[in-house]
DNA sequence: GACCCTCTTGACAGCGCTTTCAAAATGTGC
DNA sequence: GCACATTTTGAAAGCGCTGTCAAGAGGGTC
């Protein structure tokens, strides 16, 4: 394992002081053109690469941005992380990720890891860290929260109510009257909002709210499958399903497939998030698009601005219903499913 | 932004020297029980957290492991990253990711970023960095390569040939004789191996290899869709498709769906990777399981061992065909598709 | 040629931690 | 109670870099 070449080596090689080398590298002060040349040559010759840890220590910053997600492998967070990565690509900053695994204690542990690693700023995605904790952290460094709204903090989130509302409107316009909902966990504010949007859209259309058509899932595929089975088991009558996220919609579609219930022929299905894979689902899934990548990007731009002491107004993030092939007109008042289960 | 409390503060508070505090924290030498107590109390009282950057600089290591992937948001890499994260969770090390975006130059840039950040070890997933470059890096720090076999390096990969072979055997056993293949990019060694496995299995069964049944994709969904369209356009006759990865299989299924070709009724479909979502695809996708998470885990354990100067023998990683509902017996010699396109 | 200004440069003191090294404290045997 | 071996401890140097500060080098003015 070779010895690393340091700034001192460069200084010696170029016949100048370390300070001068530092100045050339960072452009922090004018340096005589000849010396600058000498330094650059020496850097080239020795193939010098600055030690970012030393630099960080000296400057009191690490040039890293901490990102807390729930699960790094989740397609939903994947999109956001990609956005963050992209926004940071051309800057001196680099993201460093830690996952909360959907558990408050692990999330706190993730925060600790990042803080200990001296991240210069923090992006927190969803989760259930107490608000006070985040407020406390925001005293120490720039913090941007994605997917939650916390007074006194810079937050970035979409209108979940509106998104759900759009989805239900779409189904109603297609003629559906009995629309089941696979909700997200009650502990997630976004899930609650989506449920509200569902109810509101029904109410506006003069449709009754039937609690037996709502099942709570946990945002993962298996729970979508289970939800549909529960619905079917209790003999619920429905011609469409609105799942609070795409992953649960995937699960739901399998349950329907198993029963020989065809999408959208017998039942229409709408998801939320519009994951990249939803476009390639079969049938391609109608879903409420949530601009994950853009959210990550905006969050990163925001903390960058805060780090520079600038203000930043994130572009408004809006949801958009992407209609694909998993939704269709209600076939007939007494569709197959209605008969089958009644 | 509050001033951070340092080891010196703790020393003063506890009435001992900084060295002693360091010793208590790291357990690098015995310390009188009373002093240790005093130090621990002081740490508690001041809520001290060591500065990992300073520690890193002093020790000449960063306690980070660099991981180069192609795309952090890809479900395939997501699984591996999760494995890495998991393996590192209970250690002092933390992963730091950088993406190559499927481009050699960006991959090199990613490597540079990680090396500049003084990662203590490197995990390289697939990609096309020149072998010499990796060998050079391995002189400087522990390196484990996943998904490539490079002489002189610690590599971790599955038997792609065998996996593809299994998939084709399965289709043949179901009666299929004309099996199309959506290959991965020729530049990827694993794609090449999978193609070889496909050919070998055909040959063993005494079936001819028909180049017109093979289309090259790029491992992403759209290319799967395009591939099937190309196949159909050229009037290829087939009753089954083996896609070199699940994402292309997803794309393929959409193309088939659009043409009204049913899976597995008209055409059987097999993927490779067995992404988590494949289990919830409709119909649930038959796929060659590649233990992504385990691969990440093993790679991480391996570099950890190397960092400790220990040797490590990774558990053998094997592929396994997971048969789900996207494959079925050949309906009849003259299946729908055969007629339709002939 | 003395004086003042501006620009460039190097010495040096950190950043917060670790790690020798030698001094201080403790313990042992007689 | 002494000489000696053994721990335990603190002082100090250093990891590789930055940034202040004051000295040095030029240049202009009268």
Read off the DSSP letter of residue A326. Answer: S
- Tell me if A230 sits within 8 A of A252, measured CB to CB: no
Which pLDDT does position B321 carry in this prediction? 98
For the residues A282-302, what does the mean pLDDT come to?
96
Distances from the Cα of A239 to the Cα of A200, A225, A231, A335, B180, angstroms: 19, 16, 12, 8, 37
Residue by residue, DSSP assigns A141-175 as: S-EEEES---TTSEEE---HHHHHHHHHHHHHHTT
Residue A219 CB neighbours (<10 A): 26
Strand partners, B214: B181
Confidence (pLDDT) at A332 = 62
Whether A265 shows a pLDDT value over 50: the answer reads yes
The answer to whether the beta carbons of residues A311 and A98 sit under 8 Å apart is: no
Which residues of A, range 225-284, sit inside 8 Å of B by Cβ? 225, 247, 250-251, 253-254, 256-257, 263, 276-277, 279-284
Q: Residue A227: its pLDDT value, please?
A: 98
Q: Which chain B residue's Cα is nearest to A224?
A: B280
- pLDDT of res. A340: 46
Q: Please give the order of strands across the beta sheet that includes B64-69.
A: B94-99, B64-69, B121-125, B143-146, B154-156
Q: Which nucleotide is nearest to B23 (CA to C1')?
A: C18
Chain C bases under 7 Å from protein CB? 7-12, 14-20
The model's pTM is 0.91
Out of A56, A97, A257, closest to residue B282 by CB: A257
pLDDT at B1: 53
Q: Where are the domains of chain A?
A: 7-50, 62-157+292-317, 160-285+324-341
- Which nucleotide is nearest to A29 if distance is taken from CA to C1'? C8
Question: Cα dist. B119→A90, B26, B149 in Å?
Answer: 20, 21, 23
Contact B280 A251 (CB under 8 A): yes
Distance of residue A176 Cα from the nearest chain B Cα, in angstroms? 23
A149 pLDDT more than 70: yes
Asked whether the beta carbons of A54 and A4 are under 8 A apart, the reply is no
Asked whether strand C has any atom less than 7 Å from the CB of B11, the reply is no
Strand partners, B94: B64
What CATH number matches the domain at B62-157+292-317, 3.30.930.10, 3.40.50.2300, 3.30.420.310, 3.40.190.10? 3.40.50.2300
Percentage with pLDDT > 90 across chain A = 91
Indicate the fold that domain A7-50 takes in CATH: 434 Repressor (Amino-terminal Domain) (1.10.260)
User: Residues for chain B: how many in total?
Assistant: 342
pLDDT of the residue at B282: 86
Do B298 and B313 form a contact (C-beta atoms < 8 A)?
Answer: no
The reported pLDDT for the residue numbered A342 is 36
Split at pLDDT 50, 70, 90, the class of A282 is confident
List C-alpha distances in Å: B300 to A132, A164, B85, B133: 35, 41, 8, 20
How far, in Å, CA of A97 to CA of B227, rounded?
A: 36
At residue B96, what are phi and psi to the nearest 5 degrees?
A: -135, 125
- According to the model, what pLDDT value does residue B98 have? 97
Interface of A with B in 303-342 (CB under 8 A): 325
Distance (Å) of CA B139 to CA A46, A118, A220, B59: 17, 29, 43, 19
B310 C-beta neighbours (distance < 10 Å), count: 9
Cα separation, B230 vs B232, in Å, equals 5
Query: How confident is residue A127, by pLDDT bands cut at 50, 70 and 90?
Result: confident
pLDDT < 70: residue spans in chain B: 1-2, 332-342
User: For A99, which of B85, B116, B253 is closest by C-beta distance?
Assistant: B85
**Per this entry, what is the length of chain A?**
342
A166 to chain B nearest CA, in Å?
A: 25
**CATH of B160-285+324-341 among 1.10.10.60, 1.20.140.10, 3.40.50.2300, 3.40.50.720:** 3.40.50.2300
Nearest to A91 by CA among A120, A69, A118: A120
Cβ atoms of residues A84 and A65 within 8 Å:
yes
Contact, B18 CB vs strand C, < 7 Å: yes
- Tell me what pLDDT residue B112 has: 96
Instruction: Tell me if domain B7-50 and domain B62-157+292-317 are identical in fold.
Output: no
Collapse the DSSP code of A38 into the 3-class scheme (helix H, G, I; strand E, B; otherwise coil) and give the result: helix
Helices in chain A by DSSP H: which ranges?
Answer: 7-14, 18-26, 33-46, 52-59, 75-89, 104-116, 131-140, 160-173, 189-204, 221-233, 246-258, 292-307, 336-341
Query: Distance (Å) from CA A14 to C1' C4?
Result: 33
């Amino acid at each position: 394992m070779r010895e690393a070449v340091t700034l001192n080596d460069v200084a010696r090689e170029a016949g100048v002081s370390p300070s001068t080398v530092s100045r050339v590298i960072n452009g922090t002060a004018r340096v005589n053109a000849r010396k600058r040349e000498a330094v650059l040559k020496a850097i080239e010759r020795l193939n010098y690469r600055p030690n970012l840890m030393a630099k960080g220590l000296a400057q009191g910053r690490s040039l890293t941005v901490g990102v807390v997600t729930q699960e790094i492998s989740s397609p939903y967070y994947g999109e956001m992380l990609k956005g963050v990565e992209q926004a940071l690509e051309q800057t001196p900053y680099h993201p460093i990720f830690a996952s909360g695994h959907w558990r408050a204690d692990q999330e706190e542990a993730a925060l600790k890891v990042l803080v200990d690693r001296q991240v210069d700023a923090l992006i927190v995605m969803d989760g259930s860290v107490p608000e006070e904790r985040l407020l406390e952290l925001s005293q120490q460094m720039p913090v941007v929260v994605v997917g939650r709204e916390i007074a006194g903090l810079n937050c970035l989130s979409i209108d979940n109510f509106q998104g759900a509302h759009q989805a239900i409107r779409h189904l109603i316009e297609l003629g559906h009257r009995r629309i089941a909902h696979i909700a997200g966990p009650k502990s997630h504010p976004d899930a609650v909002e989506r449920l509200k949007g569902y109810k509101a859209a029904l109410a506006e259309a003069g449709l009754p709210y039937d609690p037996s058509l709502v099942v709570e899932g946990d945002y993962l595929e298996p729970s979508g499958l289970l939800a549909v089975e529960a619905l079917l088991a209790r003999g619920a009558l429905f011609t469409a399903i609105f799942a609070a996220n795409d992953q649960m919609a995937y699960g739901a579609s399998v349950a329907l497939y198993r029963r020989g219930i065809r999408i959208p022929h017998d039942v229409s299905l709408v998801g939320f998030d519009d994951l990249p894979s939803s476009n390639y689902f079969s049938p391609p899934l109608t879903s409420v698009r949530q601009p994950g990548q853009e959210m990550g990007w905006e969050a990163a731009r925001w903390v960058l601005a805060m780090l520079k002491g600038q203000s930043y107004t994130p572009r408004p993030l809006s949801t958009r219903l992407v209609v694909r092939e998993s939704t269709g007109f209600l076939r007939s008042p007494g569709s197959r499913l209605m008969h089958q289960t009644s």
